[in-house]
């Protein structure tokens, strides 16, 4: 692995203000003639776009269009990397580990990074998608592999990870690679008592419009609770709404307004 000299993960001790939490959304997830979400309407409402790189969604045309759209609205571009699972939309775990997985991650980052540079943009962070994201949260070995992949890419990138009550462990691991992390919370997904996302096939996994707005406010104020009412102490840097969530556009509009409105 190359020598890494950039700033390592920062210590995070207090809840950020609502205005400092960046909104992110998964975009560019269509493929061929199939459209996913409403990227044109969503892009002006967010700060960071997690752009599919071809393994779970996206193709060269869609990547190009999404990059140009992000640049037009001055939205940060991140590589939304996944297992090579186009049929399953990247939501099925695969037995990829070690150098094989690093190669897959570098391949995806490179595709998006090359397109972004062609149109005057740049990739600044990486966010794993679907099963890869969930597997990273429960496997220390996989977490290290993904961190190694991101840190060893030729350009300085940050890695997006789920904010949990045990962030310090991930920060310590990232320190070994000189890697900066962004911790993320979700407005449209239910949480378990341990601070992980409720699996999509379980009750309470997907939140409707009203519940998502309320949860976004709770995250911003440090009062997030699990689906069963347990308080969760997390400190996120960024807040996600999935682009394929029903009513995603309405959620983002309402959440953007709520975060910009002073409490009281």
Specify which residues 81 forms β-bridges with: 128
pLDDT at 37: 87
Taking all residues of the chain, what is their mean pLDDT, rounded to a whole number? 91
The candidate with the shortest Cα–Cα distance to 49, out of 124, 149, 119, is 124
Residue 18 scores a pLDDT above 50: yes
Bridge partners, residue 50, by sequence = 26, 78
Distance in angstroms (rounded) separating the CA atoms of residues 103 and 93: 17
What does the pLDDT read at residue 261?
A: 72
pLDDT in tens, 173-232: 999 999 999 999 999 999 999 999 999 999 999 999 999 999 999 999 999 999 999 999
- Which SS3 state, helix, strand or coil, does residue 136 take? helix
| Residue 69: closest CA among 89, 95, 33, 43 | 43
**Other CB atoms within 10 A of residue 96 CB:** 18
Distance CA(230)–CA(227), nearest Å, equals 8
pLDDT (tens digit, 9 = 90+) per residue, 252-261? 999 999 888 7
pLDDT computed for residue 262 by the predictor: 59
Q: DSSP 3-state assignment of 215? A: helix
What structural domains does the chain harbor? 20-186+237-243 (3.20.20.370)
User: If you average pLDDT over residues 118-140, what whole number do you get?
Assistant: 96
Mean pLDDT of the 40-55 span: 97
Instruction: With CA atoms as reference, report the closest residue to 123 among 163, 87, 147, 159.
Output: 159
pLDDT of residue 1: 37
Nearest alpha-carbon partner for 53 in 43, 41, 39, 67: 67
pLDDT reported for residue 155? 86
In the structure encoding, which two tokens stand for residue 158, read together?
Answer: 């940050």
> Which tokens is 160 given?
């997006």
């Amino acid at each position: 692995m190359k020598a890494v000299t950039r700033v390592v993960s920062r210590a995070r001790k207090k809840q950020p203000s609502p205005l400092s939490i960046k909104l992110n959304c998964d975009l560019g997830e269509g493929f061929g003639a199939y459209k996913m979400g409403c990227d044109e309407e969503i892009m002006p409402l967010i700060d960071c776009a997690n752009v599919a790189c071809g393994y779970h969604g996206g193709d060269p045309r869609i990547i190009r269009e999404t990059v140009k759209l992000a640049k037009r609205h001055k939205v940060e571009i991140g590589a939304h990397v996944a297992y090579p699972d186009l049929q399953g939309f990247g939501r099925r775990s695969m037995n990829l580990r070690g150098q094989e997985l690093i190669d897959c991650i570098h391949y995806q980052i490179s595709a998006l990074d090359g397109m972004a540079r062609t149109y005057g943009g740049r990739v600044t962070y990486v966010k794993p998608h679907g099963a890869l994201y969930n597997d990273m949260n429960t496997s220390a070995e996989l977490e290290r592999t993904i961190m190694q992949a991101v840190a060893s890419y030729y350009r300085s990138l940050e890695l997006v990870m789920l904010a949990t009550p045990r962030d310090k462990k991930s920060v310590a691991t990232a320190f070994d690679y000189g890697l900066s992390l962004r911790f993320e919370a979700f407005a449209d997904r239910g949480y378990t008592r341990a601070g992980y996302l409720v699996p999509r096939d379980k009750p309470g996994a997907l939140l409707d419009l009203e519940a998502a707005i309320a949860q976004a406010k709770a995250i911003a104020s440090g009062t997030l609770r699990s689906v069963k009412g347990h308080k969760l102490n997390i400190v996120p840097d960024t807040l996600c709404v999935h682009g394929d969530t029903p009513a995603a556009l309405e959620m983002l509009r309402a959440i953007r307004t709520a975060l910009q409105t002073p409490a009281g």
